[in-house]
Amino acid sequence: MDKTKFILASNSPRRRQLFGLGGWDFTILAADVDETPFADESPREYVIRLAKAKALATQARVCPEPRRRAESDAVIVGSDTTVVDGNQILGKPLDEADARRMLKQLRGRTHQVFTGIAILRNDQMVADLCVTDVPMRDYSNDEIERYIKTGDPMDKAGAYAIQHPDFKPVDVLQGCYAGVMGLPLCHILRALRQFGLSALGDVPGACQSLLNYDCRVSPAVLNGEPVS
């Protein structure tokens, strides 16, 4: 049996639930990194940089001595997600007014969710990117106010969670649902192949069953085809 140890560099319960579908032996060790975008940084560059930074920061916590990091066999998984409207990065809202502004901005329109992943083992790093078009339904102002009162938007990029059972902000999604939630599992599987690693079960099937979602892009991602 494979005894590879995995470390998920995130405290997100959504990422933890999704990563658990792989059947891997893993622990949680969140990384604390500055998430401020650089000047003129594209959304693609932003999420990949932060995913890598989280993986490296976690590795430094696991093995504080730099000269010994190449000896650490743990597989560290970093991930970062942001909502993008045009070329504008929408992070977590500062307050309720900011959440309200974001939800009104996104209402009735299609934006994108960028999720970068980074897999780090020893001194080898593999990064990947999932981009999903997200069409938002034309929810009402009253719905926005009720949703804000739940407190759910306050720790979410773009001020919403696609999986919220009452608000249900998204219309008909065609891309990676798990990627919008913060951890595109097929991209994780694709990256792990470069380390000679695989899951212990049918992860795409388990993901679709958990999310009650018929994913149309999973085969293409697993086959290494570009999906946007």
pLDDT in tens, 89-136: 999 999 999 999 999 999 999 999 999 999 999 889 999 999 999 999
Average pLDDT on 152-166 reads: 94
- pLDDT number for residue 73: 78
Contact 153, 105 (CB under 8 A): no
Q: For residue 63, name the pLDDT band (cuts at 50, 70, 90).
A: confident
Where exactly are the structural domains of the chain?
5-221
Tell me the two tokens of residue 20: 């658990």
The strand pairing partners of 114, in sequence order, are 82, 131
Share of the chain above pLDDT 90, in %: 82
d(CA 121, CA 100): 41
Contact 127, 52 (CB under 8 A): yes
d(CA 145, CA 143): 5
Question: CATH assignment of 5-221, given 3.90.950.10, 3.40.30.10, 3.40.50.300, 3.60.15.10?
Answer: 3.90.950.10
* Residue 192 half-sphere exposure toward CB, CA atoms < 13 A: 23
Does the pLDDT value for residue 1 go beyond 50? Answer: no
Q: For residue 215, name the pLDDT band (cuts at 50, 70, 90).
A: very high
Q: For residue 69, name the pLDDT band (cuts at 50, 70, 90).
A: low
- pLDDT number for residue 32: 87
- Of 24-28, 65-69, 175-179, minimum mean pLDDT range: 65-69
- pLDDT number for residue 139: 97
Share of the chain above pLDDT 70, in %: 95
Average pLDDT on 14-24 reads: 95
* Dihedral angle sign, alpha carbons of residues 89, 92, 94, 97: positive
Q: How far separated are the first and last CA of the chain, in Å rounded?
A: 36
Residue 100: helix, strand or coil by DSSP? helix
Does the pLDDT value for residue 199 go beyond 70? Answer: yes
Q: Strands (DSSP E) along the chain, which ranges?
A: 5-8, 25-28, 75-85, 88-90, 110-121, 124-135
- pLDDT number for residue 68: 64
Q: Is 80 a catalytic residue?
A: yes
Q: Which of 32, 80, 98, 171 is flagged as catalytic?
A: 80
Tell me the two tokens of residue 154: 């306050």
Q: Which amino acid is present at 220?
A: A
d(CA 10, CA 24): 16
Does the pLDDT value for residue 71 go beyond 90? Answer: no
Closest CA to 12 of 109, 155, 154: 155
Specify the pTM. 0.92
